[in-house]
């Protein structure tokens, strides 16, 4: 740690959503080891959640409840806040920021986060003689604006809102809740015209009219009427409207004057590059609504949170190369209780774009998805909350869509999973059935500051079991966080402890020739070892380096140190490999002998067609393995597990393919191959599918004519998914080849702990066919070779029984206690 005088000075201008979030990220990432942080904020309070001003206006939130970081937070975290001070100048040569009231702050690094202001259209009669708005006229941007509107509304009867965009509608809802009659005046032909197409705009208007709001479209307001207070509006077409309160919500303008005066490059916003650095000054950064990045100025919080995170990672050198590459914005909105989600573009951009729509005017339901290259590039979803999560997720992640688009707009009952309607659930409803986490616990965690799915899961353990409840956890999070949900960037990292995605990490590991887990931590995580990242890295390094991998046993989970699965009492289970589920009397005899001799507490037929000896103490593992004299069945590791088979042509009267033979071949070839998650296979001798091949990671089903259908991405565990047919093969060899090719591609490209059912869905079966069957990327030969190398390198881990890697590998309590109870007292 440096002492105070060596630290650099970091000054942040603007204490709104972006500025304060950035400071929070800096504090969390240990930024205060290198920086003294000072913030200049014009608003005379701590930092609050601007989004919730709508709630304050409508009366659902108390102003005191919307503070994110009250003044105490700054003091507790050693951040100097100059609140109520307006920054009035930047001296770039002298590296000083000037504030109102004579404040002068030298800086080494300066972050501008001044946000934007409400745009006020030119209108006659808006100002009084002092140059203030006429009594009864307001904008809606700050807490002070909000308080003033509420105060005036008490004596008012009829309100007009100028602007039918999102904010204007929010203001209209608030005023209606306060008992006023509300008229919305909009310049364009339909509501929310930047986000919606005309039909959805009309349907939205219809829903809102049912709630009692009146709309005046295509109206240009030219004057505010009234002598000393607002009494009405005058429009260009000559019409007038009576009102005693008017809220102007006709758009926003980035606050860039300060930057412009300082000579920074400004277009609509302050121009920044992917490092969020100003074009012509490397020590000045801009984030939030005042920044313009790749021609985009964002007006929502999600992108600016990403920006705050990236900038904090850069400045703390937690990841000095972290880059902001722009945000895909999808938004879920509740406009006066009407559910609406929008993402990407609202209209097709060229002729090849496919537009899928469903309209039900009677219920004000509208669903429109724009598809390009099999992926969602835009969506409008009105009046249907159930389809939103999946479509928005597909948009956010760029996932491939089901070929049958109706599956997207109308999720099948079986696929829809548990109800996402968490709103009506009582607080004691159990959401996570593995760890018994209730809706109330999740809400408490969100209230306690968790804002991303990962943070909530870490804090409550919800979703950390089988994971099938994650969608519901996300839904509760969204409900409780009042729109303040963040996408945790670490969710995209391959392992949580190293801020890199899989391709970035693989690139760095290869370039720097990192062959052991500890070297990776040294080189890429500043020497910080992270327990949660160790086995993921071990698995990846083994796949990358094969025989050149420098194995460090402490990076492995206990199961992989002793090649058995730990049980709830600390003993282990032994599952010998039984190729294709076909065994012999001799094997059975040896298993029986071992079970008797070493007192297995239970002998069980597993769901994977083999035999499990349960309750074996660690010390006895080597002896049991030697006694059964069979190789490991890998019932413990993230690797190829089993290949189930049915009897097939050998005995079955319906069999059309030799499923046992192929199953044995498969298992002999791929046994123990490590992968991002486990792989379970099966072969069935006919489409009756007795070995359940269609719901396996990889499966084959014999079809008439001596052919095999090869399925991938099936599941029948915590999720159920029917596999996709990758191709049809003619021979056993061809089947083995194509299966191995897919498995190698999965090993290289899946995220850690991503089962094939998620991987295949994410990548898309069309694309996989193109790459793996048609060789569209020219990598098939390479994949086949790499799989062959992995097969050749395979060694049965149970051979360590006679040759342990450490004398105490299988020892729980080391024997050498030199001086028992050598009390030195």
Ligand X SMILES: Cc1cc2nc3c(=O)[nH]c(=O)nc-3n(C[C@H](O)[C@H](O)[C@H](O)COP(=O)(O)OP(=O)(O)OC[C@H]3O[C@@H](n4cnc5c(N)ncnc54)[C@H](O)[C@@H]3O)c2cc1C
- Interface ranges with other proteins (CB under 8 A): 458-459, 461, 464, 497, 518, 528-535, 552-555, 557-558, 561, 566, 568, 570, 806, 808-809, 811-814, 816-825
3-state secondary structure of 683: strand
Judged by beta carbon, residue 139 or residue 394, the one nearer ligand X is 139
Structure token pair of residue 262: 């300082």
* CA atoms in the 13 A half-sphere facing the CB of 421: 6
- DSSP per residue over 596-612, as a string? HHTT-SEEEE-TTSSEE
Judged by beta carbon, residue 331 or residue 490, the one nearer other proteins is 490
Q: Is 721 a binder of ligand SRM (CB under 6 A)?
A: no
**Based on the number of CB atoms within 10 Å of its own CB, is 704 exposed (0-12), middle (13-18) or buried (19 or more)?**
exposed
From the list ligand X, other proteins, ligand SRM, none, partner contacted by residue 362 (C-beta under 5 to 8 A by kind): none
From the list other proteins, ligand X, ligand SRM, none, partner contacted by residue 642 (C-beta under 5 to 8 A by kind): ligand SRM
* C-alpha–C-alpha distance, residues 550 and 522, integer Å: 15
Q: Is 18 a binder of ligand X (CB under 6 A)?
A: yes
Specify whether the CB–CB gap between 133 and 143 falls below 8 A. Answer: no
From the list ligand SRM, ligand X, other proteins, none, partner contacted by residue 143 (C-beta under 5 to 8 A by kind): none
* CA atoms in the 13 A half-sphere facing the CB of 21: 25
Judged by beta carbon, residue 53 or residue 312, the one nearer ligand X is 53
Nearest distance from residue 421's CB to ligand SRM, in Å?
A: 24
Closest to 727 in 3D by CA, of 717, 748, 741, 747? 741
Q: Which residue has the tokens 């969602």?
A: 376
Q: Is 292 a binder of ligand X (CB under 6 A)?
A: no
* C-alpha–C-alpha distance, residues 216 and 191, integer Å: 10
Q: Is 567 a binder of ligand SRM (CB under 6 A)?
A: yes
Q: Mask of contacts with ligand X, 230-269, x by CB under 6 A?
A: -------------------------x--x-----------
Stretch that binds ligand SRM, among 178-186, 343-351, 599-607, 616-624 (CB under 6 A): 599-607
From the list other proteins, ligand X, ligand SRM, none, partner contacted by residue 635 (C-beta under 5 to 8 A by kind): ligand SRM
Judged by beta carbon, residue 302 or residue 506, the one nearer ligand X is 302
Q: Is 608 a binder of ligand SRM (CB under 6 A)?
A: yes
Question: Contact with ligand X (CB under 6 A): which of 115, 622, 631, 699?
Answer: 115
Nearest distance from residue 810's CB to ligand SRM, in Å?
A: 18
From the list other proteins, ligand X, ligand SRM, none, partner contacted by residue 93 (C-beta under 5 to 8 A by kind): none
Specify whether the CB–CB gap between 2 and 273 falls below 8 A. Answer: no
**Based on the number of CB atoms within 10 Å of its own CB, is 611 exposed (0-12), middle (13-18) or buried (19 or more)?**
buried
Q: Is 680 a binder of ligand SRM (CB under 6 A)?
A: yes
- Strand pairing category for 720-721 and 137-139: unpaired
Q: Is 192 a binder of ligand SRM (CB under 6 A)?
A: no
Q: Residue 438 — φ and ψ, nearest 5°?
A: -90, 165
| 100-109 long-range contacts, CB within 8 A, separation 24+ | 103/40, 105/9, 105/11, 105/38, 105/40, 106/9, 107/9, 107/10, 107/11, 107/283, 108/8, 108/9, 108/10, 108/35, 108/283, 109/8, 109/9, 109/10, 109/11, 109/35, 109/283, 109/284, 109/285, 109/315
* C-alpha–C-alpha distance, residues 791 and 200, integer Å: 56
* C-alpha–C-alpha distance, residues 558 and 541, integer Å: 18
Sheet holding 338-344, edge to edge: 330-335, 338-344, 375-382, 365-372, 354-360
Nearest distance from residue 604's CB to ligand SRM, in Å?
A: 5
Question: Contact with ligand X (CB under 6 A): which of 68, 113, 486, 509?
Answer: 113
Stretch that binds ligand SRM, among 223-231, 518-526, 533-541, 634-642 (CB under 6 A): 634-642
Nearest distance from residue 723's CB to ligand SRM, in Å?
A: 12
Stretch that binds ligand X, among 45-53, 402-410, 449-457, 779-787 (CB under 6 A): 45-53
Q: Is 618 a binder of ligand SRM (CB under 6 A)?
A: no
Nearest distance from residue 583's CB to ligand SRM, in Å?
A: 13
758-782: burial string, b at 16+ Cβ within 10 Å, e else:
bbbbbbbbebbbebbbeeeeebbee
Nearest distance from residue 484's CB to other proteins, in Å?
A: 21
Judged by beta carbon, residue 170 or residue 658, the one nearer ligand X is 170
Determine how many CB atoms are found less than 10 A away from the CB of residue 261. 12
Nearest distance from residue 572's CB to ligand SRM, in Å?
A: 8
Q: Is 114 a binder of ligand X (CB under 6 A)?
A: yes
Judged by beta carbon, residue 23 or residue 243, the one nearer ligand X is 23
Judged by beta carbon, residue 191 or residue 743, the one nearer ligand X is 191
Within residues 753-772, the interface with ligand SRM by CB under 6 A covers 755
Alpha helices in 117-250 (DSSP H): 143-153, 166-177, 198-210
Specify whether the CB–CB gap between 663 and 702 falls below 8 A. Answer: no
Helices 388-397 and 470-480 cross at an angle (nearest 10°) of 100
Q: Is 318 a binder of ligand SRM (CB under 6 A)?
A: no
Using CB under 6 A as the criterion, which residues of the chain lie in contact with ligand X when the complex forms?
13-19, 40-43, 50-51, 53-54, 86-87, 113-115, 140-141, 167, 170, 255, 258, 288-290, 299-302, 304, 483
Using CB under 6 A as the criterion, which residues of the chain lie in contact with ligand SRM when the complex forms?
466, 565, 567, 573, 575, 604, 606-608, 610, 612, 635, 641-642, 680, 715-719, 755
């Amino acid at each position: 740690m440096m002492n105070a005088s060596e630290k650099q000075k970091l000054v942040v201008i603007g204490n709104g959503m972006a500025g304060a979030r950035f400071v929070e990220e800096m504090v969390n990432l240990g930024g205060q080891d290198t920086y003294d942080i000072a913030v200049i904020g014009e608003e005379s309070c701590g930092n609050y959640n601007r989004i919730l001003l709508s709630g304050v206006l409508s009366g659902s939130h108390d102003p005191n409840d919307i503070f994110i970081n009250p003044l105490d937070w700054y003091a507790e975290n050693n951040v100097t806040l100059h609140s109520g001070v307006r920054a009035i100048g930047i001296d770039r040569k002298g590296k000083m920021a000037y504030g109102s009231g004579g404040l002068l702050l030298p800086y080494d690094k300066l972050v501008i986060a001044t946000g934007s202001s409400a745009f006020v259209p030119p209108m006659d009669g808006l100002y009084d003689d002092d140059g203030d708005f006429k009594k009864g006229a307001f904008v809606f941007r700050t807490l002070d604006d909000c308080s003033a509107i509420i105060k005036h509304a008490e004596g008012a009867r009829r309100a007009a809102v100028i602007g039918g965009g999102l904010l204007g509608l929010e203001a209209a809802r608030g005023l209606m809740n306060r008992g006023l009659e509300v008229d919305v005046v909009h310049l364009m032909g339909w509501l929310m015209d930047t986000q919606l197409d005309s039909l959805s705009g009309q349907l939205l208007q219809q829903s809102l009219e049912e709630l009692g709001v009146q709309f005046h479209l295509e109206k240009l307001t030219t004057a505010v009427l009234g002598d000393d207070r607002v009494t009405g509006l005058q429009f260009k077409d000559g019409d007038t409207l009576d009102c005693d309160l008017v809220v102007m919500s006709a758009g926003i303008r980035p606050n860039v004057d300060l930057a412009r005066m300082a000579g920074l490059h400004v277009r609509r916003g302050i121009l920044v590059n992917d490092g969020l650095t100003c074009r012509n000054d490397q020590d000045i950064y801009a984030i939030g609504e005042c920044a313009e990045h790749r021609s985009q100025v964002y007006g929502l919080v999600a992108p600016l949170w990403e920006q705050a995170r990236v900038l904090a990672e850069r400045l703390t050198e937690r990841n000095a190369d972290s880059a902001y590459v722009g945000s895909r914005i999808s938004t879920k909105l509740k406009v006066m209780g009407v559910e609406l989600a929008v993402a990407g573009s609202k209209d097709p951009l060229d002729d090849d774009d496919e537009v899928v729509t469903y309209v039900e005017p009677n219920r004000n339901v509208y669903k429109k998805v724009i598809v390009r290259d099999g992926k969602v590039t835009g969506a409008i979803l009105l009046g249907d909350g159930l389809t939103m999560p999946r479509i928005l997720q597909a948009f956010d992640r760029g996932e491939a869509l089901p070929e049958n688009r109706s599956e997207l707009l109308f999720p099948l009952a079986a696929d829809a999973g548990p109800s996402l309607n968490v709103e009506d659930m009582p607080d004691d409803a159990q959401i996570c059935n593995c760890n018994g986490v209730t809706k109330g616990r999740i809400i408490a965690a969100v209230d306690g500051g968790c804002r991303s799915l990962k943070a909530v899961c870490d804090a409550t353990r919800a979703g950390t079991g089988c994971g099938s409840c994650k969608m519901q956890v996300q839904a509760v999070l969204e409900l409780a966080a009042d729109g303040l949900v963040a996408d945790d960037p670490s969710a995209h990292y391959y392992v949580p402890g190293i801020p890199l995605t899989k391709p970035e990490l693989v690139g760095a590991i290869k370039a720097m020739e990192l062959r052991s887990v500890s070297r990776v931590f040294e080189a890429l995580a500043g020497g910080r070892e992270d327990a949660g990242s160790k086995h993921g890295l071990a698995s990846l390094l083994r796949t990358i380096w094969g025989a050149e991998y420098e194995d460090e046993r402490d990076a492995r989970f206990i199961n992989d140190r002793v090649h058995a699965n730990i049980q709830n009492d600390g003993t282990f289970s032994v599952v010998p490999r039984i190729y294709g589920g076909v065994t012999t009397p001799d094997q059975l005899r040896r298993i029986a002998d071992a079970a008797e001799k070493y007192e297995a507490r239970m002998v069980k037929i597993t769901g994977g067609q083999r035999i499990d000896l349960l309750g074996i103490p660690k010390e006895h593992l080597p002896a049991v393995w030697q006694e059964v004299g069979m190789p490991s069945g890998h019932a413990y590791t993230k690797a190829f597990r089993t290949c189930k088979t049915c009897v097939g042509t050998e005995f079955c009267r319906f069999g059309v393919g030799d499923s046992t033979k192929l199953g044995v071949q498969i298992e002999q070839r791929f046994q123990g191959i490590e992968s991002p998650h486990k792989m379970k296979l099966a072969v069935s001798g006919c489409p009756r599918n007795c070995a359940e091949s269609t719901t396996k990671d990889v499966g084959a089903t014999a079809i008439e004519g001596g052919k095999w259908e090869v399925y991938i991405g099936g599941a029948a565990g915590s999720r159920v998914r029917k596999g996709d047919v990758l191709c049809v093969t003619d021979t056993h060899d061809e089947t083995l080849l194509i299966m191995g090719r897919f498995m190698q591609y999965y090993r290289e490209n899946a995220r850690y702990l991503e089962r094939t059912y998620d991987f295949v869905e994410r990548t898309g079966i069309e694309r996989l066919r193109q790459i793996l069957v048609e060789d569209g990327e020219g990598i098939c030969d390479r994949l086949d070779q790499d799989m062959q190398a992995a097969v050749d390198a395979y060694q049965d881990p149970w051979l360590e029984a006679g040759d342990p890697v450490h004398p105490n590998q299988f020892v729980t309590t080391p024997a050498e206690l030199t001086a028992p109870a050598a009390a030195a007292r």
